[in-house]
Structure 1
Amino acid sequence: MASSENRRIADVGTLKAFAHPLRADLYRLLYLERAATASQLAERVDEAVSLVSYHLRKLAEHGLIEEAERQSEDGRERWWQPTSDGVTIRDADFRDDPQKAAAHLAATRLFHDQRADRYRRYLDERPAWTPEWNAAVIDSEFLLSLNPEELAAMKGELDAVLSKYAERGRSAAADGDTEGRENVALYTYGFPFRL
C-alpha cells in the first residue's frame, strides 16, 4: 500500500465515484485482500470481469486504488491495491454547498444500507458460526448524555482501540498467523437525537 494513512475524500467527484454500490464493495474487498485481480474480485461479487475492471479503473482515476505488484507469473493479470489504509469522509468538507451536502447524504445512506445488509447477512448465517464466534459478537446499544467535546473525545479513544486491533490483525497476517481468524466488521455510530 502506498500510504499507511487514511485517504481523505473531500471532493464531490471522488465521493460520487466511491459511493457507487459495486465500487464500495470492490474497495472493501481490496482492503481485506490487500491485492487482487479483476477476475478474483469478479468471482467474489458475482459480476462480469469486464464490469469489475471498468469500476476498478474508475476507482483508480480518483486515486483510491492503484496497480499493485504482480502476485503471479501470469503477465496478463493486472493486480490492484488500495492507495491508503482506508478512507475518511468528513461532513465538514461537504457543508458549504447544497449539492455537495446532498451528495454526502446520499453516500452516507448508501454506506449505512450496505453495513445494515452485512449485519443482516450475519444474523441469517449465525447458526453456521461456532458458539465462540457468536458469543464474541458485539451487539449493544448505549444511550448516553454527552456534549460535543465528550463525543469527539470518545470517538478518538475508540479509534485508538480499533487501530490497535487492526494492527494486530495485519501483523498476524504478515506473519502467516491466520488460524482462527476471520474478517470482522465493526460499525459504531454516535449521533445526537431528541425524544
Structure 2
Amino acid sequence: MASKENRRITDMGTLKALAHPLRMRLYRLLYVNRTATASHLADQVDEAVSLVSYHLRKLADHGLIEQAEPQSGDGRERWWRPASDGLSIHDEDFSDAPEKVAAHTAASRLIYEQRSELYRRHLDARPHWSAEWKSASFDSEYLARLTAAELAELSGELHALLKKYDAKGRAAEAAGDSEGRENVALHVYGFPFRV
C-alpha cells in the first residue's frame, strides 16, 4: 500500500464516492486481498467486469485506491490496491452543514449494514468452521459508565492493540507463515446511549 497511514476522509466528494454499496464492497475486498484486478473482484461480487472497472476508477479518482504493480505477465490486466492502510471518517468533519450531516449518516448506516451482513454470513457459516475457529470467535457487549474523554482513550488503546496484531499477522505471512491464517473481521462500536 502506498501509505502506512489511515486516510481521513474530510470532503463530501470522497465520502460520496465511497458511500456506494458496490464501491464499499470493492474497497473492502481490495483491502483484504491487497491487490486485485477488476476481473478478480467481479468474480467475488458477481458483477460485470465493466461495472466493476467503472467503480474502481471512481474510487481511484478520489485517491482511495491506486494502480498496483502487475502480478502477472498479462500486460492487459490493470491491478489495483488501496492507497492507504485504512480509512477513517470523523463526525467533526461533516457536522457544519445539514447536507454533510446527512451524507455522513448515510455512509455510516451503509458501513454498519455491510458489517452486519458480514456477521450474518459468519453466523450462517459457523457450523462449517473448525472447533478451533469456533472457540476463538467471539461476540461481546460491554455496557460501561465512561466520560467522553475515557471513551476516546479506550478507542485509542483498542486501535493500537488491533494494529499491533494486524502488523504481527502481516509480518508472519510475509515471512511465509500463512498456515492457519484467515481473514478476521473485528467490529467495535463505542457510543453513548440513554435508557
**TM-score, normalised via structure 2 length:** 0.99
Equivalent runs, 1:46-61 vs 2, <5 Å? 46-61=46-61
Counterparts of 1:170 and 1:48, CA distance in 2: 31
CA distance in 2, matches of 1:58, 1:182: 29
The answer as to 2:32 corresponding to 1:32 is yes
Tell me how far apart the structure 1 counterparts of residues 37 and 127 of structure 2 sit (CA, whole Å): 32
Distance in 2 (alpha carbons) for counterparts of 1:30 and 1:37:
9
SS of corresponding position for 2:88: strand
Alignment of 1:103-142 (within 5 A): 103-142=103-142
Residues 67-93 of structure 1: per-residue CA shift (max 9 Å, x gap): 111111000000001110010100000
Q: Does 1:23 align with 2:23?
A: yes
| Alpha-carbon separation, structure 1, partners of 2:32 and 2:171 | 13
> Equivalent residues in 2 for 1:1-195 (5 A)?
1-195=1-195
Q: Distance in 2 between matches of 1:109 and 1:181?
A: 30
Once the two structures are TM-superposed, the CA of residue 103 in structure 1 deviates from its matched residue by 0.1
Q: Distance in 1 between matches of 2:183 and 2:71?
A: 22
Provide, for residues 25-68 of structure 1, a one-character-per-residue CA deviation record: whole Å limited to 9, x for no partner: 11111111111100001011111100000000000000000111
Amino acid at match of 2:193: F
User: How far apart, CA to CA, are the structure 2 residues paired with 1:35 and 1:172?
Assistant: 18
Q: State, as a whole percentage, how many aligned pairs show the same letter.
A: 67
What amino acid is the match of 2:162?
L
Matched residues in 2 for 1:181 and 1:167: separation? Answer: 13
CA distance in 1, matches of 2:111, 2:77: 30
**Equivalent residue of 2:81, what SS?**
strand
- For the residues of structure 1 that align with 2:157 and 2:33, how far apart are their CA atoms? 27
Shift of 1:169: 1.6
Q: Return structure 1 stretches of 4+ with deviation > 2 angstroms.
A: none
Displacement of 1:176: 2.0
Unaligned 5+ residue runs, structure 1? none
Deviations along 1:115-140, one digit per CA (max 9) or x if unpaired, are 00100100011100011101111211
Measured in 1, the distance between the counterparts of 2:156 and 2:138 equals 19
Q: For the aligned residues, what is the CA RMSD?
A: 0.6
Normalised by the size of structure 1, how large is the TM-score?
0.99
What amino acid sits opposite 1:191 in the alignment? F
Distance in 1 between residues matched to 2:87 and 2:173, nearest whole Å: 21
